[in-house]
Amino acid sequence: MSFFNKLVVSSIPLVPRPIVRRFAGRYIAGETLADAITCVRQINTEGACATLDVLGEDIFTKEEAVDSRNQSIEVLHTITKEKLDSNLSIKLTSLGLKLDKDFCTENVREILKVAAAQNIFVRFDMENSTCTTDTIDVFRVLHKDFPNTGIVLQAYLFRTEEDTRLLLKEKPNFRLCKGIYKESPDIAFQGREEVQQNFLKLLGMMFEQKAYVGIATHDSLLVDGAIAMIDKMGLKKTEYEFQMLLGVRPELRKKLVRDGHKLRLYVPFGEHWYGYSTRRFKENPEIAGYVFKALFTPNK
C-alpha cells in the first residue's frame, strides 16, 4: 500500500461514522437479516453460493456471547426457510472464546446442533494469532460430533504448515486464506511473495491429502496457481471451491463462475460493521479515492 493510502487508512478513525458507513457499503450486505437475505438471493441468481456472517467480534460478557449465538441460530433458520444456498461463518471471540473456552465450546455446540438438524455447513473463521490455538482446539472437539464443519487456516503464519499436518489427519474441510491481521515477524511471513509461496505450498499439501479446500483469495497469481494445480491433479469441480469477499473483484468472481468453478461469497451483515469494514479498507488499493469521494459527495 502506498504511503498516501496508509495515511488515509490511519486517518479513518477521524472520519465521521456516517461517512465511513457510506463507503463501507460495498463490503457488507447491510445491517439487518432482511438485507442479508436480499443480497444472498442476488448472489444465488448469479450462480454463486454464500456464507453468511453476523458481524461482531470481541465481546465482554457471556450474555453478549449468548446473544451472538442466538443471532447465528436465527440465520440458520432463515437459510432453511428462505431456501438460500448459503453456509454460516462464525467467529469464536464473538461466542465467548476470550471469556471462557469451555463456555464458548458449549455455546458453539448449540449452533452446530441446529445446523446439523438443517444440514447446513458451518465454518470457523480464524482471528488473530492470540486465538489460533484455542480456535483449533474448539474446532477439533466439536468436529468429532459435527463433521459438517470446517476451519480457516492463514498462509502468513509460520505455524500453519504444522497445523495443516495435524488437521489433515481429521479430514477436515479447510478455507485457506492469506490472513488479515497484523502479525509480528517472529511468527508470520511479512513479504507478499513469501505469503503467496506458502499459500500454494499449503494448498498442494491439502489437495494431495484429498481435503476439500475453499480457496479464499482475490489475488490473480493465487487463483491462476490454484487452477493450474487443480488441472494437473485432475480434481473434480466438487473437490474444491473458490471463495471471495462481498465487494471485492466482482469481475473475477463472475469469470470463475462462467468458467464453471464453484464460487462462494462471504456475506457479512449486522450492526457491528465498523471493525470488519476498516480491515477491508486496509487492503483496498483504491481506498484514498473512496474516502475522498465519500467525503465530498453529498448524501443522496
- The residue ranges that bind ligand FAD (CB under 6 A) are 125-126, 152, 154, 175, 177-181, 216-219, 243-245, 248-249, 266, 280, 283-285
Instruction: Please choose, from the candidates 76, 60, 152, the residue with its C-alpha nearest in 3D space to the C-alpha of residue 110.
Output: 76
Rounded to a whole number of angstroms, the minimum distance from the CB of residue 107 to ligand FAD is 19
CB within 8 Å of 100: residues ≥ 6 apart: 62
Reading the block at residue 268, the C-alpha cell is 457479512
Contact indicator for 78, 33 with CB cutoff of 8 Å: yes
Nearer residue to ligand FAD within complex by CB, 59 or 245: 245
C-alpha cell at 95: 461466542
Cβ nearer to ligand FAD, comparing 110 with 219: 219
CA 122: distance to chain centroid? Answer: 12
How many Å apart are CA 188 and CA 156, to the nearest integer?
A: 5
Catalytic residue among 69, 123, 125, 253: 125
User: Per the residue annotation, which of 69, 123, 175, 280 is the catalytic one?
Assistant: 175
Euclidean distance between CA atoms 57 and 92, whole angstroms: 8
Region for residue 66 given its phi and psi (left: phi exceeds 0; alpha: psi -120 to 50; beta: otherwise): alpha
CB of 269 to ligand FAD, least distance (A): 15
Active site residue 175: yes
Q: How far apart are CA 147 and CA 120, in angstroms?
A: 11
Q: Name which of 152 and 230 has its Cβ closer to ligand FAD.
A: 152
Q: Output the smallest distance, CB 294 to ligand FAD, in A.
A: 14
Distances (CA, A) of 134 to 68, 108, 126, 203, 285: 19, 13, 10, 23, 33
Contact 214, 173 (CB under 8 A): yes
Q: Is 125 a catalytic residue?
A: yes
Compute the least distance from the CB of residue 57 to ligand FAD, in Å: 11
Phi-psi group of 43: left, alpha or beta (phi > 0 → left; psi -120 to 50 → alpha; rest → beta):
alpha
Least distance from ligand FAD to the Cβ atom of residue 140, Å: 17
Q: Which is nearer to ligand FAD, 11 or 220 (CB)?
A: 220
CB of 37 or CB of 183, closer to ligand FAD: 183
Catalytic residues: 125, 175
